[in-house]
A and B are shown apart, each in its own frame.
Chain A
Amino acid sequence: MVKITIKDLSFSYGSRRILDELNFVVGDSEVLSLVGPNGSGKTTLIKCIDRILKPKGAILLNGGRNLESLSRQEVAKLIGYVPQSTTGVLTTTVFDTILMGRKPHMGWRVSDEDIDKVVDIMKLLHVEEFALKDYSELSGGQKQRVLIARALCQEPEVLLLDEPTSNLDVKHQLEVMETVRSLVKKTRISAVMAIHDLNLAARYSDSLVMLKDGKVHAIGDPLSLLTKDNIRSIFGVEAVVMRDLDRPYVVPISSLKGEAV
């Protein structure tokens, strides 16, 4: 079943076109990764889907409701956004940071139900042991898990993640990606993430959208998409593509300097 339909989506900063007539769908319980070089429009697209930016075109949820027709609060009940862990200044505890995710559902008063929700999600993401620590005291991986927990507290149908593994070491990268993957399968939500690491994208995604210069270059499963030709034309890089556990594995060899890509 289709969860999100992106239809003729375009976005410009002034006269500069960032996204150009994008069309693709995200399935139910699917992890879809947006890959592409710097400036290809991955992060902008994530922000457009969450209506943080206001694009032209349509974003339809479950084949029907256009997100444009919904209020900001209604969108927040349907879509959870996980920014990079380095953004924002949070001077609150981990518990309060995650509780903030209940914002679309609650008024000033916090109900027992809200607290129960936070506790359950903290345990799901294994962050309960530092519940009353300040967010700023956590490691990068812990912060990312807390931000995912906050987004899950919104009880969204779709989780958007902006470079969830940037600034993390290998262990934490794998931890975060495994967390996202297992959440999608457990909670039946869909996830769309902007990601630089092709191998992580290949290992943990059901499908990829390759972006270049704000346009969709190719859409498909990791095995069919991560080919030498696609990598050369998208990234301008010569690479060897191998297979590991039925997933493609990309080893970059050299940059194609000066060549048109």
Chain B
Amino acid sequence: MSEAETMSTDTAIENSELKEEYASFVGRKVLFITLSIVGIVVLAGIAATLGSANITPVEVYSAILARFFPGNFATTDFTDTIVWQLRLHRVLMGIFAGMGLAVAGSAMQGILKNPLASPFTLGIASAASFGASLAIILGAGFVGGQYLIVGNAFVFTMLASLTVYGLAKYKGITPETMILAGIAIMYLFSAMTSFLQYVGESEEVHEVVFWMMGSLGRSSWDKVAIIALITVICTLILMAFSWDINALGAGDETAKSLGVNVEFVRVLCMMLASLVTASIICFTGTIGFIGLVAPHITRMVVGGDHRFLLPASGLVGALILLAADTVARTVLSPVILPVGIMTSFLGVPFFIYLFLKRRKDYW
């Protein structure tokens, strides 16, 4: 073999080594995502077994599979009712709500280049709380009947997002203008909610406070269907913009030079994140912690590439919310604690552990 041929063979080997190294690096992220999915399936099974009626995980999975493959799996009417009518929709509500809140938080942190950003930073939680308070205390709202609170929370959430967008647009859409406009809106709605609480009766105020703590107790199959549909569609659209969000992390000018339509991507992602959050918290009340911390926990493990960060954050968010709700339902049974309290109790120690353990900068 000539010297030139030897050199070209060496180069080819080096190239393939580098490619293999990168493929294995990507493979580790895919493995994390796969393990998270397995974790959710297992935890969902466990969550559905826990409660006042005593049923085993095997009975739970049999009841689920019997609906799809009636010839192959058998179940009893009692187990079927417990699983399908009482527990499974709550479990799925936890999974999709956790997923949606975490994906929204991850996207917001990416487009605003701020570790403290989440849809809640932009005034969304306070707008939803105000909408709910208005319905509970004054009985006023956009939609009547059983959807009075839900409708109000959703409408005010989207109103807050559009106002933030309008204010930021006036000054130029940058992370700073969006965050500042969001903080202003957050304080405005908080003040208005406080005023309503001040003038409300004590029972109404109690209901508002309970709503603001967040709960999966109001779940039902139709609500799960709405949340799942919006979360999945918005997550897929956000994932399609992963490279754009990655490029925004390098600065607006670099992103533009890489062909990103910076303003369009920032506004679109903000609106999608707001829509997901609004559709979730109008049914669950405000569960703020997941959107802020699930992306951070995930970023420490899979890094800052949004192709993997967005779906992995969603899965980690689903795991945290599902675990928190399961503990909240069972730890002081028969009393069910608000899940918003439990997410912080479970997630914060884990987050602090990772934060202290990790040496490298992850943000």
Lowest 10 A-B CB distances belong to which pairs? A91-B304, A76-B259, A81-B257, A88-B251, A73-B259, A88-B250, A104-B259, A103-B258, A52-B256, A52-B253
A81-122 with Cβ < 8 A to chain B: 81, 83, 87-93, 95-97, 100-101, 103-104, 106, 108, 115-116, 119-120, 122
Q: Is B327 an interface residue (CB 8 A)?
A: no
Q: How many residues of B contact A (CB 8 A)?
A: 36
Please give the residue numbers on chain A whose beta carbons come within 8 Å of chain B beta carbons, in ascending order.
47, 50-52, 71-77, 79-81, 83, 87-93, 95-97, 100-101, 103-104, 106, 108, 115-116, 119-120, 122-123, 128, 131-132, 134, 136-137, 151, 154
Select A154's contact among B239, B251, B258, B303, beta carbons within 8 Å. Answer: B258
Pick from A73, A91, A151: contact of B303, CB below 8 A.
A91
The stretch among B15-23, B31-39, B85-93, B217-225 that forms the contact with chain A is B15-23
State A150–B362 Cα separation when bound (angstroms): 21
Shortest C-beta distance, A52 to chain B (Å), equals 5
Asked if A80 contacts B246 (CB within 8 A), the reply is no
How far is it, in angstroms, between the C-alpha of A93 and the C-alpha of B18 when the chains are bound?
13
Q: Which residues of B contact A75 (CB under 8 A)?
A: 259
Chain B residue nearest to A96 in the complex (CB) = B305
Given contacts A100-B258, A104-B258, contact A89 B249 (CB under 8 A): yes
What total count of A-B pairs have CB within 8 Å?
110
**Residue B355, interface by CB 8 Å:** no
Residues in chain B near residue A131, CB distance under 8 A: 18, 21-22
Within 8 A of A (CB), among B262-310: 299, 303-305, 307
User: Which chain A positions have C-beta within 8 A of B18?
Assistant: 119, 122, 128, 131
Interface check B73, CB cutoff 8 A? no
Complex contacts, A128 vs chain B, CB 8 Å: 14, 18
Which secondary structure dominates where chain B touches chain A? helix
Q: CB distance A72 to B360 under 8 Å?
A: no
Whether the pair B254, A81 counts as a contact (CB closer than 8 A) is yes
B 305-363 contacts with A by CB, 8 A: 305, 307, 360-363
Q: A100-B243, A134-B361 are in contact. Are A88 and B249 (CB under 8 A)?
A: yes
Which single member of A104, A132, A136 contacts B22 (CB below 8 Å)?
Answer: A132
Q: What are 16 A-B contacts with C-beta separation under 8 Å?
A: A72-B259, A83-B254, A87-B254, A88-B250, A88-B251, A88-B254, A91-B303, A91-B362, A96-B246, A96-B303, A115-B22, A120-B15, A128-B14, A131-B22, A136-B361, A154-B258
Tell me the complex Cα distance, A116–B21, Å. Answer: 13
- Which residue of the partner chain B has the closest CB to A154? B258
Q: Is the CB of A93 within 8 A of B25?
A: yes
| The one of B14, B249, B258, B360 that contacts A76, using a Cβ cutoff of 8 Å | B258
Task: Give every chain A residue within 8 A of B257 (Cβ-Cβ).
Answer: 50, 52, 76, 79-81, 83, 151
Decide: A108 near B240, CB < 8 A? Known: A92-B303, A119-B19, A137-B360. yes
